[in-house]
Amino acid sequence: MVRLTMDLIAKSHNHLKKKRNFSVSQFLKKLTHLNFSNKNIEGIDDLSMCRNLTVLYLYDNQITSICNLNFATNLTHLYMQNNNITRIENLFSLQNLSKLYLGGNSITVVEGLEELGELKELHVEGQKLPLGEKLLFDPRTLLSLAESLNILNITKNNIDEIKDLAVLKNLTQLFAADNKLSDTQELEDVCSQWIQLHQMNLTGNPVCQKPKYRDRLITVCKRLEELDGKEINELSRQFLINWKASKAKKKIKDEKIITRQITFPFIDDFNVSVHPSHNNSWTNVLGKRRPLNCMRLGVIKVCSDHSHMAHGTLSAHSITVPVSAALLGDMADSAAT
């Protein structure tokens, strides 16, 4: 079992100490970057003497838990991807941390980051999750990162919805490829709140196969410059926005036409004004006709049910027949007598 200790650090940098004529304590205090990646390390001991550490590389090891890093208040970059970590913990003292890499571990919940007000990048891609489970997000952690987080990598984590991520209002880059996102409307709603977003990758999600998927996201993401590895031309975006606006106007116009036809179904047939106090009897409709030019053709509905026609009412079973204006006048006179 290999543990990261101050003795191990001192031995690995022995040639530098001799060259610069440093004591062990002096050397450890001045150390700012430490790289112990791929060293079969399984645990971290007390490293408090390395108080000026700003960048720590511990990826590709066998570390099972995050511990003994409370001393590193100056740490800005922490690389712990591809270990055996199961929980995000013991990071509350790293208040200057801006980049955290935890991909390729066995984390099931993104949590424990409430004190990291300077965190700008979070990489938790490719977690080794139990069968059928997905990566979850603690709402408290998301809320605490709402102002600071710019880059989020959640690729390959069986994620099927991202509505909880909408609070990350300053997100500029999202990497969420190879998940299970399928709801285009949800994506539109969330992305419309990320007004700073300029790069997004969703390749490998079911939603990518939906009709107009790319067009819809380009329309709502006003600053998006790259989607799924393909650049977005501003001219293309403007065309899609204009096309969407014209389609909406046409829909409104069509709805108005349909409403008019339902409200006044006989206006086009008789070319007369219908007053609410009038019913649709032959006498009232034809008796209140406007003066008609004898050369123009009108339209009437002829009832197939003669008994109804005799009583001066329109039958539900009728046909439309074109007639001359003169004939319409004669019919009106006959009805009046």
Coil/strand/helix, residue 44: strand
3-state secondary structure of 282: helix
Low-confidence ranges of the chain (pLDDT < 50): 270, 272-274, 277-279, 281-283, 285-286, 288-289, 291-321, 323-324, 326-327, 335, 337
DSSP letter, residue 40: -
**185 in a structural domain:** no
CB 103 within 8 A of CB 79: no
Kindly state the tokens that stand for 297: 């053709």
Question: Is 193 a domain residue?
Answer: no
Which domain-ending residue is among 158, 181, 216? 158
What's the domain count of the chain?
Answer: 2
Looking at 129, 158, 187, the residue that finishes a domain is 158
pLDDT of residue 10: 86
Strands (E), the chain: 2-4, 33-35, 41-44, 55-57, 77-79, 99-101, 109-110, 121-123, 136-137, 151-153, 173-175, 199-201, 226-227, 230-231, 297-303, 318-324
Rounded to 5 degrees, what angle do the CA atoms 121, 202, 139 make?
Answer: 50
Q: Report d(CA 160, CA 137) in Å as an integer.
A: 13
Please identify, among 123, 142, 158, the residue that sits at the C-terminal boundary of a domain: 158
The residues facing 3 across adjacent strands are 43
Query: Is 97 within a domain?
Result: yes
CA angle (113, 118, 124) in 5-degree steps: 45
CATH number at residue 72: 3.80.10.10
CB-based contacts of 298, cutoff 8 Å, min separation 6 = 270, 271, 292, 322, 323, 324, 325, 328
Threshold 0.85, pTM exceeds: no
The DSSP output letter for 108 is -
Does residue 332 form part of some domain?
yes
φ, ψ of residue 200 in degrees (nearest 5) = -150, 140
Are both 141 and 271 inside the same structural domain? no
> In this structure, are strands 33-35 and 55-57 parallel, antiparallel, or unpaired?
parallel
Q: What is the pLDDT of residue 245?
A: 57
* C-alpha closest to that of 146 among 176, 179, 113: 113
Nearest to 86 by CA among 138, 42, 127, 133: 127
What are the tokens at 251? 């829909």
Let me know how many helices (H) and strands (E) the chain has, helices first.
11, 16
Q: How far apart are CA 221 and CA 196, in angstroms?
A: 9
Alpha-carbon span 267 to 117, nearest angstrom: 68
Name the residue range of residue 316's domain: 267-336
Is residue 142 domain-shared with residue 19, that is, in the same domain?
yes
Rounded distance between C-alpha atoms, residue 229 and residue 202, angstroms = 9
Is the Cα dihedral 170, 176, 179, 183 positive or negative? positive
